[in-house]
Amino acid sequence: MKTLLVWCVVSTLAVLSASGTAEQKLKNCNEVRTAYSSKGFNVNDVPNKGVNGAPLKVCPQGFSCCTVEMEEKLSQQSHTEIKAPVSRLSTNLQATFKQKHDHFDKFFRELLKNAEESLHNMFVRTYGMMYVQNAELFKNFFESLTRYYASGSAAVNLESMLSDFWADLLERMFRLVNVQYEFSDAYMECVSRHTEQLMPFGDVPRKLRIQLTRAFVAARTFVRGLALMPEVVNKVSTVNASPSCVRAAMKMLYCPYCSGQVALKPCQNYCLNVMRGCLANQADLDTEWNNFLDAMLSLAERLEGPFNFESVMDPIDVKISEAIMTMQENSMQVSQKVFQGCGMPKPSMAFRSTRSVKEPTFTGRFRPYSPDARPTTAAGTSLDRLTNEVKKKLKHAKKFWSTLPETVCTGERISPGDECWNGTAKSRYESVVIGNGLANQVSNPDVDVDITKPDIVIRSQIAVLKEMTTWLKAAHSGNDISVDNAEEDSSGGEESGSGCDSPSCNTDQDMYFPMPPKHEPPQLNPVVRNPSAGGASQGQPCMALALCGLALALLAPHLR
């Protein structure tokens, strides 16, 4: 009984002592005046001593160092203060990936420029005036590659462009190795139509098409993904806090002022619940954000391996030269097949008058490109170095949105333990910490969140990320679906062999290839002549339907 009496007396004295301390602080609001003016507000807004807090809308009512006017100004300050750390983190993220985008974009563009200059210098030394007179063909080739890198299929159909390049190159070389003949435009059309069948350049065009398609689709899609990240972060960071969020932030940050406890910080769990309520919509971005980052990381692996843009562009001059040498070595066989399929051309009158002029030939031998030598070719760096750096940043950016509350509610912004502000007094915060995301806020004890009204801006960015992830996954297989998805879907989404859906993509078998083997050009159907016509048809090109190798193939069995 005595023990109980002593305990009651001690407790009463403690309460009276605490009450006396708080009451003493409320008798004069000097600390509040100092702290309030340090925020840039007029010190005269603060009463000299505690006043009746009944009119207050957010903070506890009773004797208070706050007025309604102070409460409104501190609410605005609360809005600024909860937005500041989120804005700072978002700005840093934007700056990081804006820089990474610029580095990759500059690197890829310089690789294209360096490859063009390397080819020009090599071909001037090797082929001299024959190259100079045909230099616009190669200039146009690189211009088309650059436009495809910049704008994709909307600007250049890569497969058609490459087919046209090889057909044009064959036409020019065919004329050079057969200067003793005259060729009409119709005849050269027949030659062009048989480019793939003749394989005058060996297997180089096929391999180069696959390599260029994979590398360019991967490079431009990856750069596009890097460009998207700052855009998404910028748009999401502009989403304003709701009135209920501002109200909760005011209660958390500045209601201690009203009781004269200006140094009192919120409890960590209390802060987490407030920030998870305020950032509920942003947290819903996390799933698609992480899916997008995973797709970026997977494509980065492709850039380091079989879709390595640097390893395709750096030796492209050697590859094209190998194709030219293959054509040179097989020129007689190629010409014979063309003459069989398209007819004998007319002898050139100009050639007859200048028989002393030697037929131009191509000279020069180039060693195959070695994959062991990957020089630092552009922008003072290499693709491997760039991808290693960006992969670290991409991994670090995962769960950015869902971890914002934890990032904000740390350090000097909160008070550890029980000596903290719980929303009503200096004591332990008893409520359970709720989960992230809009749906979980139905049970948030500190922020009123309407879970039936998701933020439109954030929902639109979720859709943007989802679409970009689809493009990244397609690029991972060597396909570009960023333009005209409907058309690609109707054709099965294939890229004429440029895709890469099998495990073989993980090897470098198509990345570096040696001097192409000599291929015996496939037989074209010979021109069928009427014996009764004698030699009248000799030396004449195939005319009308006979120009078409397919027509010859169809007619030949019936005329034998």
CA–CA distance, 538 with 400 (Å, rounded to integer):
76
| R_g over Cα of the chain | 38
CA–CA distance, 446 with 449 (Å, rounded to integer):
9
Amino acid, res. 57: K
Q: What is the pLDDT of residue 9?
A: 41
Q: Name the β-bridge partners of 457.
A: none
- Residue 369 backbone class (left: φ over 0; alpha: ψ -120 to 50; beta: rest): beta
In a domain, 72, yes or no: no
Q: Name the β-bridge partners of 266.
A: 421
- The structural domain count of the chain equals 1
3-class SS letters over 481-507: CCCCHHHHHHCCCCCCCCCCCCHHHHC
Helix and strand numbers (H, E) in the chain are 23, 4
Q: pTM here?
A: 0.76
CA–CA distance, 152 with 480 (Å, rounded to integer):
8
In a domain, 216, yes or no: yes
Are 267 and 420 spatial neighbours (Cβ–Cβ below 8 Å)? yes
Q: How many Cβ atoms sit within 10 Å of the Cβ of residue 184?
A: 12
Amino acid, res. 434: I
In a domain, 81, yes or no: no
- Residue 519 backbone class (left: φ over 0; alpha: ψ -120 to 50; beta: rest): beta
Q: What is the pLDDT of residue 380?
A: 63
507 contact partners, CB below 8 Å, separation of at least 6: 306
Amino acid, res. 45: D
Name the maximum alpha-carbon separation found in the chain: 141
CA–CA distance, 473 with 482 (Å, rounded to integer):
11
Identify the three-state secondary structure at position 426. strand
Per-residue pLDDT of the chain (560 residues; tens, 9 = 90+): 444 444 444 444 443 344 444 444 456 899 999 999 999 999 999 998 889 888 899 998 888 999 999 999 999 999 999 999 999 999 999 999 999 999 999 999 999 999 999 999 999 999 899 899 999 999 999 999 999 999 998 899 999 999 999 999 999 999 988 989 999 989 999 988 888 888 999 999 999 999 999 999 999 999 999 999 999 999 998 888 999 999 999 999 999 999 899 999 999 999 999 999 999 999 999 999 999 999 999 999 999 998 999 999 999 999 999 999 999 999 999 999 999 989 998 887 765 555 444 444 444 443 343 444 344 455 567 899 999 999 999 999 999 999 999 999 999 999 988 889 999 999 999 999 999 999 999 999 999 999 999 999 999 999 999 999 999 999 999 998 866 443 444 344 333 334 444 443 443 333 222 333 333 333 334 333 333 333 333 333 333 322 233 333 333 333 33
Are 252 and 352 spatial neighbours (Cβ–Cβ below 8 Å)? no
Structure tokens, 309: 């843009």
Are 165 and 141 spatial neighbours (Cβ–Cβ below 8 Å)? yes
In a domain, 177, yes or no: yes
In a domain, 182, yes or no: yes
- Residue 183: closest CA among 404, 350, 25, 394: 350
CA–CA distance, 358 with 84 (Å, rounded to integer):
78
Are 246 and 79 spatial neighbours (Cβ–Cβ below 8 Å)? yes
Start-to-end Cα distance in the chain: 128
Domain of residue 130: give its range: 113-349+380-440
- Residue 425 backbone class (left: φ over 0; alpha: ψ -120 to 50; beta: rest): beta
Q: Which helix (H) or strand (E) is 246 found in, with range?
A: helix 243-253
Structure tokens, 282: 């942003």
Q: Name the β-bridge partners of 182.
A: 346
In a domain, 470, yes or no: no
Cβ burial, residue 307 (10 Å; 0-12/13-18/19+)? buried
Residue that the structure tokens 């989120």 belong to = 86
Q: What is the pLDDT of residue 483?
A: 60
Q: How many Cβ atoms sit within 10 Å of the Cβ of residue 458?
A: 20
In a domain, 435, yes or no: yes
Q: What is the pLDDT of residue 346?
A: 87
In a domain, 84, yes or no: no
Question: Could you give phi then psi for residue 56, rounded to 5 degrees?
Answer: -65, 140
CA–CA distance, 397 with 230 (Å, rounded to integer):
12
Q: What is the pLDDT of residue 501?
A: 42
